[in-house]
């Protein structure tokens, strides 16, 4: 039952890359939220394939249909089901994968676990599955913004060794969307695009780092001890395809500092509000948001599917060589940006509701 | 309800650092497992305070009592409750923290969330909470070993900038336990110990990286899409106190490789079994274990509580200075080693049972 | 998040009576189960409206579409999404309900809870929601039958005061389906049909009791203490629309016996297998199945929606009179039969997997 | 993992009748609730053995210890662990049960499921397990009362065929506690006591019905479709030892009425508030509380353990006779009253928090 995420604001995704379609059921959504199909489609358009020369050429408009849970433009409080049909499947492109396991892909492990596999495309391990997450994330974002003015912005921080200079406190969605690689450092973005395009021409692929900031998150979100906010964020991020690492605040770099250097001293701002002088904690202390910006990073490996020939083994246990056909992203990061935002929004929204449930009921 | 972890093999921890005691309830444990109190105590002894000059001097024998779920040396299949009394609390040491928030600690966020806080020690955010996890982890380890010969070994990989050279495929528990810093690179260990001891004398603290390997994990564990094995491992690790980052396999370093360089080619070993030629995947592909060793790393920040004076704010909103008394670890990593092993064992055991439940019931 | 049911074999339903459609996502289904769309449709046909003169005349073919989770006739182990479009909605029939609360219906409580309501039909409280349950139940039934030969048969035991004489140990699906009221006591069935038809003509409605037997359930299903098998069955049954009571085994009647009279003595059958001489326990002891037939009963109230005029109140708080138009069942019991079977199958299948997960993993 | 109950206000019980002790961990409790150990002990005293001549003579003071989650008289919002030691175990009384299965008890099914059983007493199936529920229920009750003035009162409605006349709208705790059988119909109570005492002398046992009312429950609690309030109440009640049936509102009796007779017409009270003219719905419509009193009934079978000789089978499969020694209740109902109240309180409190979480967060 690993297709469900969240405790109060809970989503269940379904669907394979080849088959009737993919989608999501969102259960526990607060009632009376005004949200349109267009607002959801906006986020889906950010993740859809074929949006630029550095993404997969698969042609999918990914138009969503809202099946339930909405009435006259508002949420009903009952499950919201959203579906996207698969429009451009090409099972024939995958005929070879029927018998040959793609290295570092999910083919072999799905066979090991289930004894069966939809070899047409990535099946359930396809990034198409994230359509449901992104659709649900659009709703979570709107709730967070409406309740507390939360702003969630992710962007490509690094492609291979090209790292952009971005200020998480000020970066905007418009800056992110201003170029096809979604790196708000414009100069760096141009070089990233060229690098990815070169990888595409080489039938190779690249990885990198997506950074995400959530600003104006109210203090008090997150539940010790297992459902610490960073723990649930880590799970959400690491459940995305191709992720290999997660950092909150200072991350691995913080481990070379001393406690004296690393600690975020408390201070008072102009309004006399308690703040932290620095934010190495990344907006979370003791598993609970402290009101500072939540800043996290996700490591994405280079796309496993590449056109170059690779050593592999057949389903019947013979050594062979595979040169993938199919259509794939030379670098997943540009399209991963809305996925990261969605997962962050889903975690924060769930904890917003959980905190409301436990910690406000006895208040006067 | 954030104190519960796991879906079939499920633990719930309780307790604060000051109060009656801490413990755990383990629900869903397979029946008829032979395990003694000593086997559980062995792991608790590895995490207890006061075990060496580089850990907190708090004196706690941390002797556990099994309250239920065992009969004549075997598990009953019913909840196993294990409790450890708090023996050496010193609330007076924390009198100052009643009014002053410790920087980068959980004091302020607990107050923000709950409006109340046990200021005697770390309360629920204390590392004492992990006693329950480690006790439960001992049971999970035994199940994994008995069913599949799984070996889980964690060790200190790096302290600040001192990094040990350790081969995860061969490292043993004995090597880890051979020195007080739990780094199996003996030479490096000596320098780490000196470095930590110096930090202690400076009333400062240090961070670093714990690495963990799980060998002989059966293929097929992990559930797409949200409960991918690396996602649940990430959550488990990031729920430990003081963690700032998580990596599986190649981690962040893997992001600078190309797909061609990064992919783990499939090959056949001497027995004709499919293996991967390299293991950048860290034993998990598509969220499911592939039979190779699972290798992960956790970043631990320098201990927040230090003796040096720090700028902070009082509970009534005034700027002040705090120089912590109390007893604390100058570096949490040596004691974090059994905690990391416990969380890895808990995740693997839960997924072992989940896989058994879903994927073996229709088998002939 | 109340639209999810089950722990390992887990379903999430979605949809309102008026809107895009209704359906279900089944997560955790064992892989490699052979099942066809026709087998699922067979059960949906048993619950669809318009099947006889004693059910609602709403015309819905309720043809299901499997969106995901199947490949070449087998389950993949990934989520199975099944959808049924709403084909014959008539929102205009419900225009009056926009402003007037139907007595003993969900209109007023949905408004109280959510502050919004899809007044076109029953919205989420419509019995159309059970389509998803029945579709999922078809899969659960097949698993149970394949693994252990389990047979689940429900039937109408009583309509108002007309009670059939049926032997739960021998009753068959064919006998149940032999008449439109689904009471295998043929003579009684005729009188029930006449009674319901009279209620329909009177614009009134009737209630009664559905009994269900599950034969050949393997011993060992159910988990003390909260997830006792009868507790989960009770929850499943009482989550069906219009239920007012639940009994397992001897039920309320058992409370007038003494312990000596009520206890099921153990004995040995011809093969030397331990059995119970009687079955007042209803196949469950201590919350765990004992291998005897599980027998339960569900009380269904008379349909709330009736054509006769009733006193009610408007959404703006004024007294008024309502005579429902719309289309409704004069008695829900004939169509409730497959719903009850579905809930029983879902509970048993979930516990089959849970028992497999916890209790077989250490077995040699 | 069947020892956990509730979604936001979540309890996990542990312990067998013979062993270190029994208890509960309550997770998700709202912070800053003032509650004393005495308030919890008050409820435990109502359920403890040895309280009168018609209960088991086992001598247990059942004094509880609060291990965590409280500070200076208030809840911390972190897990509250409560433990009661087993003080008067007599394993020798159960020596015979080691080899002989008690009819209609859990001995045989525990062996079938787990392959192991604590034969000293009832093990996990003992009513001692309910200590944790009752302790947690005391906290849930206080929250409900403080937030909304909810009053929960259960009482013995019927013993065998002796049924009391009690008005659920006015019955008080004092009336219930005024006699040892906990039937507020004083005259009937005397006859019930005599009847139970006779059964005790006969080494036999009796069953009956407990009724429970929850008054002033706020409208809006309960979540369609599976977590309907009556579904969760049914599960809670049917998870209590010895229950065989559950009714909400009109229950089974309601099935003989027509819709016209059964429906609760809406009307306006003196203050112009919408009410129902009758309450056959039992305070719940469409799975959601409507503000009227919630009224439910639970059927308890006669105690399985009796002194009279019964036919049974040994663990090695031979026919034999068993005459139970041990100490047991001739009728569980007087002590079941606080257990029923506890389960009702736990369900309502969980749904109070869940409703707060989902349905108030977007409110202005």
Choose among C282, C263, C266, C299: nearest CA to D207. C263
Which value, in Å, is the radius of gyration of the alpha carbons in chain D?
21
3-state secondary structure of A156: strand
Pairwise CA distance, residues D151 & D172, whole Å: 9
pLDDT band, very low/low/confident/very high, at B326 (cuts 50, 70, 90): low
Backbone angles phi, psi at C264, to 5 degrees: -95, 105
Q: In Å, how far is C117's CA from the nearest CA of chain A?
A: 6
Is B364 inside any structural domain? no
pLDDT band, very low/low/confident/very high, at B363 (cuts 50, 70, 90): confident
Per-residue pLDDT at A95: 84
- Whether the bond between C225 and the residue before it is cis, its omega within 30 degrees of 0, is yes
The residue count of chain B comes to: 364
Verify whether the Cβ–Cβ distance A103 to B2 is below 8 Å: no
Residue C326 has pLDDT above 70, yes or no: no
CATH code of residue A210: 3.60.150.10
Which residues in chain D land under pLDDT 70? 326, 364
B216 CB burial (10 A radius; 0-12, 13-18, 19+): middle
Pairwise CA distance, residues B139 & C184, whole Å: 52
Q: Does D329 touch chain C (CB under 8 A)?
A: no
Which residues in chain A land under pLDDT 50? none
Choose among B24, B12, B239: nearest CA to D28. B12
Q: Does A3 touch chain C (CB under 8 A)?
A: yes
Residue C82 has pLDDT above 70, yes or no: yes
Q: What H or E segment, with its residue span, contains residue D221?
A: none
Residues of D in contact with C266 (CB under 8 A): 101, 103, 108, 311-313
Question: Tokens standing for B217?
Answer: 């994990």
Q: Which of B32, B78, B354 sits opposite C362 (nearest CB)?
A: B32
**CB-based contact A322:A94 (threshold 8 Å):** no
Residues 31-70 of C with CB under 8 A from B: 31-33
Q: In Å, how far is B23's CA from the nearest CA of chain C?
A: 21
The DSSP letter of residue C334 is H
Question: Tokens standing for A355?
Answer: 């905190």
Pairwise CA distance, residues A324 & A310, whole Å: 9
- Whether the bond between D225 and the residue before it is cis, its omega within 30 degrees of 0, is yes
**CB-based contact B343:B337 (threshold 8 Å):** no
**CB-based contact A294:A247 (threshold 8 Å):** no
Residue B133 has pLDDT above 90, yes or no: yes
ipTM: 0.98
The number of beta carbons lying within 10 Å of the beta carbon of residue A338 is 25
Pairing of strands A10-14, A4-5: antiparallel
State pTM to two decimals.
0.98
Question: Tokens standing for B57?
Answer: 């001097």
**CB-based contact D205:D308 (threshold 8 Å):** no
Per-residue pLDDT at A88: 77
Q: Using CA coordinates, name the residue in chain D closest to C128.
A: D225
How remote is the C-alpha of C341 from its chain's centroid?
Answer: 6
Q: Write the pLDDT tens digit of every residue in A9-49.
A: 999 999 999 889 999 999 999 999 999 999 999 999 999 99
Is A364 inside any structural domain? no
**CB-based contact C24:B352 (threshold 8 Å):** no
Is A363 inside any structural domain? no
pLDDT band, very low/low/confident/very high, at B364 (cuts 50, 70, 90): low
Backbone angles phi, psi at B223, to 5 degrees: -130, 110
Dihedral sign of CA atoms C182, C187, C188, C194 in order? positive
Q: Using CA coordinates, name the residue in chain A closest to C81.
A: A14
Between D233 and B53, name the one with better pLDDT.
Answer: D233
Is D363 inside any structural domain? no
**CB-based contact C13:B345 (threshold 8 Å):** no
The pLDDT of C50-76, averaged and rounded, is 93
3-state secondary structure of C267: strand
Residues of D in contact with A146 (CB under 8 A): 362
Choose among A84, A319, D77: nearest CA to B1. D77
The tally of domains found in chain D comes to: 1
Is B307 inside any structural domain? yes
Which residue range is the domain that position D137 belongs to?
4-358
How remote is the C-alpha of D47 from its chain's centroid?
Answer: 10
pLDDT band, very low/low/confident/very high, at B92 (cuts 50, 70, 90): confident
Pairwise CA distance, residues D362 & D349, whole Å: 21
Where does C28-146 show beta strands of DSSP type E? 64-66, 70-71, 74-75, 80-85
Is C364 inside any structural domain? no
Is C363 inside any structural domain? no
**CB-based contact D223:D354 (threshold 8 Å):** yes
pLDDT band, very low/low/confident/very high, at C247 (cuts 50, 70, 90): very high
3-state secondary structure of A26: strand
- Whether the bond between A225 and the residue before it is cis, its omega within 30 degrees of 0, is yes
Per-residue pLDDT at C83: 98
Is D26 inside any structural domain? yes
How remote is the C-alpha of C300 from its chain's centroid?
Answer: 11
Q: Which residues pair with D156 in a beta bridge?
A: D210
Q: Write the pLDDT tens digit of every residue in B57-79.
A: 888 899 999 999 999 999 999 99
Q: Which of C7, C30, C146 sits opposite B359 (nearest CB)?
A: C30
The pLDDT of C128-140, averaged and rounded, is 98
Question: Angle at Cα B101 formed by Cα B99 and Cα B106, nearest 5°?
Answer: 125
Q: In Å, how far is C173's CA from the nearest CA of chain D?
A: 24
Per-residue pLDDT at D122: 87
Mutate to test the interface with A, among D143, D362, D363 (most CBs of A within 10 A): D362
DSSP A300-331: EPPPS--SS-EEEEBTTS-EEEE---S---SB
């Amino acid at each position: 039952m690993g297709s469900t995420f969240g405790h109060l604001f809970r989503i269940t995704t379904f669907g394979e890359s080849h088959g009737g379609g993919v989608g999501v059921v969102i259960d526990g959504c607060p009632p009376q939220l005004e949200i349109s199909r267009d607002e959801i489609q906006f986020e889906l358009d950010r993740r859809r394939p074929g949006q630029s020369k550095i993404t997969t050429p698969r042609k999918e408009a990914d138009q969503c249909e809202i099946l339930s849970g909405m009435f006259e433009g508002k949420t009903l409080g009952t499950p919201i089901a959203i579906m996207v049909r698969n429009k451009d499947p090409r099972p024939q492109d995958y005929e070879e994968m029927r018998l040959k396991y793609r290295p570092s892909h999910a083919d072999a492990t799905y066979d090991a676990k289930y004894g069966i596999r939809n070899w047409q495309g990535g099946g359930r391990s396809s990034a198409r599955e994230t359509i449901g997450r992104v659709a649900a994330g659009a709703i979570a974002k709107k709730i967070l913004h409406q309740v507390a003015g939360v702003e969630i912005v992710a962007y490509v921080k690094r492609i291979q060794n090209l790292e952009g200079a971005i200020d998480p406190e000020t970066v905007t969605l418009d800056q992110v969307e201003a170029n096809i690689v979604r790196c708000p450092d414009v100069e760096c973005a141009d070089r990233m695009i060229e690098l990815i395009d070169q990888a595409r021409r080489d039938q190779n692929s690249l990885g990198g780092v997506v950074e995400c900031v959530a600003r104006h998150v109210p203090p008090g979100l997150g539940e010790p001890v297992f459902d610490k906010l960073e723990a649930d964020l880590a799970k959400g991020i690491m459940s995305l395809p191709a992720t290999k690492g997660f950092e909150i605040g200072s991350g691995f770099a913080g481990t070379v500092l001393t406690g004296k250097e690393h600690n975020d001293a408390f201070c008072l701002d102009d309004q006399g509000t308690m703040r932290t002088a620095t934010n190495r904690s990344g907006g979370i202390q003791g598993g609970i948001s402290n009101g500072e910006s939540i800043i996290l990073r996700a490591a994405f490996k280079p796309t496993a599917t590449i056109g170059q020939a690779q050593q592999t083994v057949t389903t019947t246990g013979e050594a062979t060589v595979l040169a993938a056909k199919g259509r794939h992203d030379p670098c997943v990061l540009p399209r991963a940006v809305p996925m990261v935002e969605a997962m962050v929004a889903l975690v924060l929204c769930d904890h917003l509701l959980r905190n409301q449930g436990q910690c406000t009921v006895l208040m006067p």
